[in-house]
């Protein structure tokens, strides 16, 4: 029976020759060298991932992993767990916050249930359930290790299925009330940080609510003692089903040489877990924005990724990832334009000290 570790073994290194060729193509264009900054890096990285300078991004899909977190019982959120299912249905019916943005960006939205609480099902929400929400991580492990691995495998398979179906780029999003608590706990554990340095207000908390959220995470870390050298152990003990599935999706995308866009704080936590399990998976990771949550940018710094957007966003649902697409589209237009120095009769720029 296939496991997430079998998928990890399929992840290869990026094609550096293709990256260099894409750089040469950028440098041939009649503009100052490197003048599109991080967007030139991203297009070259796409070429390295695909092993081809003919970069395509026509078929784009947003995978939104939906699950509930038992820690909500500790009063760490402004709303109750039933909001997760309501937003998942709105995603399926194209009436959630991210829906008009996705339509503009020509991006298909695919919600998947990996563990929403008492969710009755919906014809347009994929059923990838592992269990009925997680346990309260402040009282014990959020799930079993086998359940965590099952959620990871579910995410990896969904990424692989969409890649095989023709997706050129995958965006990885989430919906799960309470998941800024679980993702903060994961980041605190993996990076050895205090909750006061990481934990923000999430979808909106009062000062007392924020203090309670930080204390809940401290208690969870002290009780569960997750092993920071084992990302699966951390996800099992203080993570969530959505986080585990997202981590798997990044690994699955990397195994298929398909780019996967990181949304914000929560998906960055999942991406961090993926790179700890397989450093080569970084080749498929494309950050969209520096989250408005505390330490959002610092998480990306761990695997040396620069996000092009810095707008204090914290929407969730993959909204920041979708906002990256029109900017990448414009970069690709220039990359493919053929407006070379020779064509315009301009002397080429050369590297200067």
Catalytic residue (one of 147, 174, 282, 317): 317
pLDDT at 63 over 80: yes
Q: What are the residue ranges of helices labelled H in the chain?
A: 4-8, 16-27, 38-50, 82-92, 99-104, 145-164, 179-191, 195-198, 207-224, 231-238, 241-255, 265-277, 296-302, 319-335, 341-344
In the chain, how many domains are there? 2
Regarding whether 228 and 80 lie in a shared domain, the answer is yes
Regarding whether 254 and 124 lie in a shared domain, the answer is yes
Burial of residue 174 (CB within 10 Å: 0-12, 13-18, 19+) is buried
Regarding whether 140 and 10 lie in a shared domain, the answer is no
Return the CATH number at 282.
Answer: 3.40.50.10210
213, part of any domain: yes
350, part of any domain: no
- Tell me what the mean pLDDT of segment 106-132 comes to: 98
pLDDT at 274 over 90: yes
Q: How far apart are the first and last CA of the chain?
A: 56
295, part of any domain: yes
Regarding whether 139 and 49 lie in a shared domain, the answer is no
**Containing domain of residue 223, as a range?**
60-330
Question: Are 245 and 276 within 8 A, CB to CB?
Answer: no
SS (H, E, C) 99-113: HHHHHHCCEEEEEEE
Regarding whether 23 and 80 lie in a shared domain, the answer is no
87, part of any domain: yes
pLDDT at 204 over 80: no
201, part of any domain: yes
Q: State the pLDDT confidence band at 202, using cuts at 50, 70 and 90.
A: low
Token pair of 76, please?
Answer: 């760490």
Return the CATH number at 25.
Answer: 1.10.1610.10
Residue-level pLDDT at 64: 98
Regarding whether 109 and 13 lie in a shared domain, the answer is no
Q: Is 347 annotated in the active site?
A: no
pLDDT at 200 over 90: no
Q: How far apart are alpha carbons 82 and 69 in whole angstroms?
A: 11
Regarding whether 21 and 74 lie in a shared domain, the answer is no
308, part of any domain: yes
SS (H, E, C) 185-253: HHHHHHHCCCHHHHCCCCCCCCHHHHHHHHHHHHHHHHHHCCCCCCHHHHHHHHCCHHHHHHHHHHHHH
Regarding whether 223 and 82 lie in a shared domain, the answer is yes
Q: What is the pLDDT of residues 302-339, one digit of tens each?
A: 888 889 998 888 888 999 999 999 999 999 999 999 88
Residue-level pLDDT at 231: 98
* Residue scoring higher pLDDT (1 or 156): 156
Regarding whether 50 and 71 lie in a shared domain, the answer is no
Regarding whether 130 and 42 lie in a shared domain, the answer is no
Dihedral sign computed on CA atoms, order 246, 252, 255, 259: negative
353, part of any domain: no
Q: What is the pLDDT of residues 16-30, one digit of tens each?
A: 999 999 999 999 999
Regarding whether 107 and 20 lie in a shared domain, the answer is no
Helix (H, G, I), strand (E, B) or coil at 26: helix
Regarding whether 140 and 14 lie in a shared domain, the answer is no
352, part of any domain: no
């Amino acid at each position: 029976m296939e496991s997430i570790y079998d998928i990890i073994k399929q992840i290869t290194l990026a094609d550096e020759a293709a990256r260099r060729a894409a750089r040469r193509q950028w440098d041939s264009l009649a503009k100052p060298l490197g003048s599109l900054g991080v967007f030139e890096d991203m297009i070259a990285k796409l070429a390295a991932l695909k092993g081809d300078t003919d970069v395509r991004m026509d078929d784009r899909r947003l995978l939104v992993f939906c699950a509930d977190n038992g820690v909500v019982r500790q009063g760490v959120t402004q709303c109750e767990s039933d909001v997760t299912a309501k937003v998942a249905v709105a995603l399926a019916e194209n009436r959630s916050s991210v829906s008009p943005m996705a339509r503009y960006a020509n991006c298909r939205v695919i919600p998947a249930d990996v563990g929403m609480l008492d969710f009755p099902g919906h014809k347009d929400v994929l059923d990838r359930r592992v269990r009925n929400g997680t346990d309260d991580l402040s009282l014990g492990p959020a799930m079993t290790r086998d359940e965590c691995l099952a959620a990871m495998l579910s995410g990896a398979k969904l990424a692989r299925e969409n890649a095989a179906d023709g997706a050129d780029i995958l965006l990885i999003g989430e919906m799960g009330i309470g998941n800024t608590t679980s993702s903060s706990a994961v980041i605190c554990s993996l990076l050895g940080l205090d909750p006061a340095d990481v934990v923000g207000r999430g979808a909106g908390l009062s000062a007392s609510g924020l203090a309670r959220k930080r204390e809940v995470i401290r208690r969870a870390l002290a009780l569960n003692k997750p092993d920071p050298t084992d990302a699966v152990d951390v996800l099992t003990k203080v993570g969530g089903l959505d986080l585990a599935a997202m981590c798997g999706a990044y690994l699955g995308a990397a195994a298929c040489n398909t780019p996967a866009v990181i949304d914000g704080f929560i998906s960055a936590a999942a991406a961090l877990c993926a790179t700890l399990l397989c450093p080569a998976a970084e080749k498929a990771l494309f950050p969209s924005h520096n989250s408005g949550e505390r330490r959002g940018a610092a998480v990306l710094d761990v695997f040396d990724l620069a996000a092009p957007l810095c707008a204090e966003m914290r929407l969730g649902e993959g909204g920041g990832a979708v906002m990256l697409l029109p900017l990448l589209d414009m970069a690709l237009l220039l990359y493919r334009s053929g407006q070379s120095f020779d064509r315009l009769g301009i002397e080429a720029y050369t590297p200067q000290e």
